Chains A and B, each alone.
Chain A
Amino acid sequence: MFLTSQFKTSLRKNLQLSKLLPQLLLIILFCYIIYFFTKNTQINLAARNLNFGFDFLNTNSGFDVQFSLIQYDGSSSYFRSYLVGLLNTLLVSFFGIIFATILGFIVGISRLSPNWIVNKLSLIYVELFRNLPLLLQIFFWYFVVIRSLPSTEKSMVILDILIINLQGFYIPKFIFSNFIYIFYGLFLALLATIAVKYYATKVFYESGKIIPVFKIFLLLIIVLPIIFSFIGDVSLLVEYPKLVKNFGIFNYVGGVKLVPEFLALLFSLSLYTSAFIAENVRAGILAISKGQKEASKSLGFNNPQTLKLIVIPQALRVIIPPTTNQYLNLTKNSSLAAAIGYPDLAGVFAGTALSQTGKAIEIIFMVMMTYLTMSLIISSILNWYNKKIAIVER
């Protein structure tokens, strides 16, 4: 068909319009849905004589929490109970991520071991822990393992430093005086290492000599804090948990107490997530072709150098993105704490505080925003790291 240029233009305009109009309608519809839900909430809140607002955060909560990282009791505000929950969530997530990463790397590398037993054992580990529902694993650790521990008066005492019973694990508490001097030492060690690294790079480019930066770093980080602790007269007091008897009730007082709910949650989250991380690690290592190692050898790199300079940087590119997801999952899964009474954000704030105040919308909104923020922060940190180690394409 023969088309005049004028017709072509009008067709193009029509096409543009027909593309634009549905988009516009979609935006209007979207705005309407938002408007509808807000309006609906307002009407229903008014109909039930409920007022929306965050004033309740300043009133005192009236309930105590069994385990808190900051000073808290019933005379503290609801906002403080939010902080208690948030810190408990962060605590279990932080240690969960560390343990899951360490375990995941060990198991992931073992999966590639030529040793048949190590290989199969890690296979069983992975398949067991990633295929059982997480809630079930939490229940297993809490109700089966921890509940079958001995009572307080019959506690297992391991070398006087670890006391295990049904009501928790107790370890000695280290109380430093003038602790800040050790901190100065560490800081100086870090600064010195950066200087040495700078110097080493310069020497390497000028003469080809390799200075063992890492060994120097290890030496500095041990020696400097020790020297500083002598300068600053740092003293260490170890407080051991002591068994106290009040009528027929036994209790350990002093030391650091790890509550069973925390331990059960930490174990199950770490093991469950480590199984997934192990598979990521295995995939990352397998993704590097044999040719890379061979090329590295032919360039004269030795085995540790090949691993450090050729294999790991490339494997990390494959490992990091899916592992980010696992970190996010772990943080979000920690809200299953409510099932066993660990006082995390979901338990203390979206649970107890919600039922004591009845401020469901406000509290759930706050908790959702908090989890969202936590997830976005974790993923942006790892995205930044991923970008840093990604292939720089020219």
Chain B
Amino acid sequence: MKKIKINSFAVLAFVVTFIFTTFNANANQTRENVIKRGSLNCGVSQGVPGFSNADASGKWAGIDVDLCRAVAAAVLGDANKVKYSPLSAKDRFEVLKAGDIDVLARNTTWTLSRDGGLAVDFVGTNFYDGQGFMIRKAANINSAKKLNNVKVCVETGTTTELNLRDYFKQQKLKYEPVAFTKADEAVAAYDAGRCDVYTTDKSGLAANRTKLKNPADHLILPETISKEPLGPVVRGNDENWANIVRWTLNVMIEAEEYGITQANIDSLKSTEDPAIKRLLGLEGETGKNLSLANTWSYNIIKQVGNYAESYNANVGPKTPVGLARGQNASWRNGGLLYAPPVR
């Protein structure tokens, strides 16, 4: 009896050891893991209209969501094979680093300290933004320079929170931050009157204004106090995966330059233009460099569309968010969007 007891301990120790040693997953295989899983895990916001927002039936839409869909189209050939994880600003990087999501497309600002210090890679910019302030029209203030002794609602764990402090420090004005972990809570608190001012990126101000009780009572001040290049983020130890996401975005931007749309892509198959042929996967071996099938770029444009289509459908002037292209226009039209050549 004694001996068996001891043996059972040894067995237990062995089993536990075995379980633990198999814990160490290899991190550099995001593409393989996504293909094996058959779906892409994408981290999005908890609801910013136009960027990533779920409708009543739970269907996600927005330009960040389109980026997730485009990556799924490129890797899996089906833009609908995406699982969305709504994340708070505070949690987003930890969830990405832990491997629970493959791409973070959550209006995230590209900064040096994040790119260099957080073990993540920023692969591009899909929206050029800048921070601004929203205030009640009743406050009779038309410039951010007149803000003094105000309470400002802000989402915690953001660059917004840091810029806010910088701005008031530079202007030598007084303020009191009221920080919330969710953007929704900050917006609701502003709407209820807990704060005099709400601050976030200007696109976010426009998007969140649609959620207020009386959007017409609120004003977005003209000043832009920061640069906020928003873009997708991946883990820092997987170069192949970073390239896939980077070039997915570039394909969408370049497709606009060459006038390739979801609607006309099939009719362009007979074109002689080599650049268009490359984007359609008819010439060159663009897919091979990313370890993807050569139809990857065709799938992106066919299933999701080019950048302009995504922009106009989600945040453009005809949507409730109503943002003009402005600096987010293609470089050919005087904007900042400039994709390196897909070749």
Interface residues of A (CB under 8 A from B): 14, 18, 21-22, 25-26, 28-29, 32-33, 36, 40, 43-44, 47-50, 62-66, 73-74, 147, 151-152, 166-167, 244, 246-249, 251, 253, 260-261, 338-339, 341, 343, 347, 351-352, 354-358, 360
Contacts and interface: CB of A to CB of B under 8 A. Distances in A.
Given A246-B149, A341-B185, A352-B90, A48 B178 contact: no
Contacts of B164: 64
Contact of B165 (A26, A64, A360): A64
A62 B181 contact: no
Given A36-B20, A248-B140, A355-B89, A28 B117 contact: no
13 contacts: A40-B24, A47-B27, A48-B27, A48-B97, A66-B178, A152-B193, A247-B141, A248-B139, A249-B139, A249-B150, A249-B196, A352-B90, A358-B94
Contacts, number: 142
Given A73-B165, A341-B180, A351 B156 contact: yes
Given A249-B150, A358-B93, 16 more contacts: A21-B6, A40-B24, A63-B165, A64-B177, A66-B151, A66-B179, A147-B192, A246-B150, A247-B140, A248-B140, A249-B196, A251-B150, A338-B181, A341-B178, A357-B117, A358-B119
Interface in B162-182: 162, 164-166, 169, 175-181
Nearest to B1: A18
B121 to A, nearest CB: 11
A352 B20 contact: no
A355 B157 contact: yes
B177 A355 contact: no
Q: Which of B9, B13, B146 has the most CB of A within 10 A?
A: B9
Interface of B: 2, 5-6, 9-10, 12-13, 16-17, 20, 23-24, 27, 89-91, 93-94, 97, 114, 117-119, 136, 138-141, 146, 148-151, 156-157, 161-162, 164-166, 169, 175-181, 185, 189, 192-196, 235-237
A33 B12 CA distance: 13
Contacts of A63: 161-162, 165, 177
Contacts of B20: 33, 36, 40
B146 A341 contact: no
A151 B193 contact: yes
Contacts of A357: 117
A26 to B, nearest CB: 8
B139 A247 contact: yes
Contacts of B93: 355, 358
A33 B97 CA distance: 23
A25 B9 contact: yes
Nearest to B13: A29
Contacts of B181: 338-339, 341, 347, 351
Given A74-B165, A247-B140, A48 B235 contact: yes
A305 to B, nearest CB: 53
Contact of B194 (A44, A74, A166, A248): A166
B18 to A, nearest CB: 12
Contact of B149 (A29, A64, A253, A343): A253
A18 B194 contact: no
A72 B6 CA distance: 59
Given A29-B16, A248-B138, A351 B2 contact: no
Contacts of B139: 247-249
B194 A167 contact: yes
